[in-house]
Amino acid sequence: MLFGTTRQSGEVLVGTPCYRLQGLAVLDRLPGTAAEARSADFKVIVHGASPEQVRWSAHLVLPAGQQSVAMPFVADALGHELQLWVTRPEGEAGGLLAGYRELEITNAVEAKGPPQLWNDRLPVIEVTPELVQSLLGAVAWRPQQLVVRAGQPTAAGLALGPGGEVWLHTEAMLGEITGQLRAQPSAGGPAWVRVLWYKGGRLQILQQSWLQPGQAMDFRAWTAEPGGWIGLKVGKSDGGATIVARVVATTLAP
């Protein structure tokens, strides 16, 4: 996805604080336009700072006859929000897209809670000792916070219906957890499952797959940097099988 504009200037606001952001500055010629050389100035600044604080800048030239050109960048935000600007010379609007692609937060600020990835989230349920035991079994480690939706403790593990999710908080910790997701064989069609890690706007999809009724998938989830939330998510599809989740081991530690 290219966050770009055909106008003379444009901007992208990264609306979450972070410590480091990387991506590509891009010039992409539109079909049917003149093949002469084009250029633009790019800069990444701290949003709202006065005087202006530039974290990265470059002048990018698209040579005559070339379709596109890209330049990688890395910007240190130091815990602030960043604003990404692109400006083209006076009178050069149109003809190409100028903007940013492959934006990725590589060092994030700890979030207050798990991410809101879907607008139709199910209600959070009460976390009881029985629920924690069903998910973690003999594992001694316990998360600082546990957020569960559409979950039901069973002897085999934590049963997650369609739209169910589990988020385990790992504040200031590094390491991984391993476990298994199993689709109950009794009823329902295939269910879409995801294993994720999230911290303050940085989201990593670690595993994802369709599970047929009766099928199981071993999972491994890790913290890409200290802290954050490890998530197990079941797709919200009508008739999807219930997924039973069980953590079997962890190396998470401060």
φ and ψ at residue 180, rounded to 5 degrees: -140, 140
Measured CA to CA, the distance from residue 159 to residue 165 in angstroms comes to: 10
Q: Tell me: do 171 and 208 sit in the same domain.
A: yes
pLDDT value for 78 = 93
Structural domain including 202 reads 129-250
Of 234, 240, 211, 248, the C-alpha closest to 150 is 234
Q: Tell me: do 94 and 191 sit in the same domain.
A: no
**73 bridge partner residues:** 23
Task: Note the pLDDT tens digit of each residue in 136-194.
Answer: 999 999 999 999 999 999 999 999 999 999 999 998 999 999 999 999 997 679 999 99
Residue 171 sits in a domain of what CATH number?
A: 2.60.120.1060
Q: Tell me: do 203 and 238 sit in the same domain.
A: yes
Query: Which is it for strands 191-199 and 68-87: parallel, antiparallel or unpaired?
Result: unpaired
Q: Tell me: do 177 and 228 sit in the same domain.
A: yes
Q: Which residue do the tokens 């539109």 mark?
A: 30
pLDDT value for 121 = 87
Q: What is the mean pLDDT of residues 26-34?
A: 93
Q: Tell me: do 53 and 162 sit in the same domain.
A: no
Residue where a domain terminates, one of 74, 108, 142 = 108
To the nearest whole number, what is the mean pLDDT of the chain? Answer: 95
243 domain-assigned? yes
pLDDT value for 111 = 82
Encoded tokens for 118: 């879907």
Q: Please tell me the total count of domains within the chain.
A: 2
84 domain-assigned? yes
